[in-house]
Homo-oligomer: A and B are copies of this chain.
Amino acid sequence: MNDRVILNHFVSVERLSNIEVMKLIRRGEAFKKGATWQPEKQQYFAANLFFENSTRTHTSFETAERKLGVDVLSFDTSTSSIQKGETLYDTILTLSALGTDVCVIRHSEEAFFQPLIDSKTIKTQIVNGGDGSGQHPSQCLLDLMTIYEEFGTFDSLKVAIVGDIVHSRVAKSNMQMLRRLGAEVYFSGPKEWFSEEYMAFGTYLPIDELVKSVDVMMMLRVQHERHHDGKQVFSKEAYHQTYGLTIERASQMKPSAIIMHPAPVNRDVELASELVEAKQSRIVTQMTNGVYARMAILEAVLTEAIL
């Protein structure tokens, strides 16, 4: 048990050391192979508060909780007292007072978690399920786990991150962590969605050049719902042909290379529909690994919770 990471809250993957990240990945792999948690209390309670729409992350966390034997409280953000004007702080204070051990929260406000983890009264562990355009650390961890499971190392792996980087909650974490863990990072997609600051972590290249040489094609969802300026810059067809992973481009990938996507996929926009369930795709694997990565996260914070 002394190879377990002890976390106080899980709000950002960048705050972890490389050793801690690797321990979480390996613990996720162990859960996938059938390891079980030996809890120290008889009963744990989790609440999942998703203030933004989600299928994958919400259900994945809930599955992880149930696999650990944690009781999941139903919490419907649309019928809570938040509708009477109660703040997120007072809601979490309440859940803490009721004995909730961990709250998994997705919220549109960046760094929503800061006042919660700074509070002396709130005792519940906070897990960030996505904060606005900020971070999505559990997605980063499952992406890293999927790459590590595939290649057994990050060292000198070539990973392309392609598409709507600027609106992606996970791309920024992934580029930093991949770099830190020894991979080479490349970018592609519309230049408008690229920022100079990414240059510190990798190199921008045209997709037709990248596709032949990388080990991982990490395609990003075009976040229609976050392009608030109203103008759709590209038609779906044009985006697909210019920046997307078409069937033709995929055919030029190295045989050992894999396709990743955080999903939900805009089929035939960033990725050809047929590729979602193709042999080189690890999209379904990412979803499956998400459950095990989240079990590792939850175990780590719940263990701290009882120390």
Contacts and interface: CB of A to CB of B under 8 A. Distances in A.
Interface residues of A, number: 57
B53 A97 contact: no
B67 A43 contact: yes
A245 B159 CA distance: 59
Contacts of A37: none
14 contacts: A43-B67, A45-B63, A47-B59, A53-B79, A54-B80, A54-B81, A55-B75, A58-B80, A63-B98, A63-B99, A78-B79, A90-B265, A97-B288, A98-B288
A30 interface: no
A54 B79 contact: yes
Contact of A284 (B86, B97, B263): B97
A20 interface: no
Given A53-B81, A56-B81, A60-B98, 10 more contacts: A43-B67, A45-B63, A55-B80, A55-B86, A55-B95, A59-B75, A76-B76, A78-B78, A85-B224, A90-B263
Contacts of A60: 98
Interface of A: 43, 45, 47, 50, 53-56, 58-60, 62-63, 66-67, 71-86, 90-91, 93-95, 97-100, 120-121, 224-225, 263-267, 276-277, 284-285, 287-288, 290-291
Contacts of A100: 59, 63
A82 B55 CA distance: 8
Contacts of A93: 277, 284
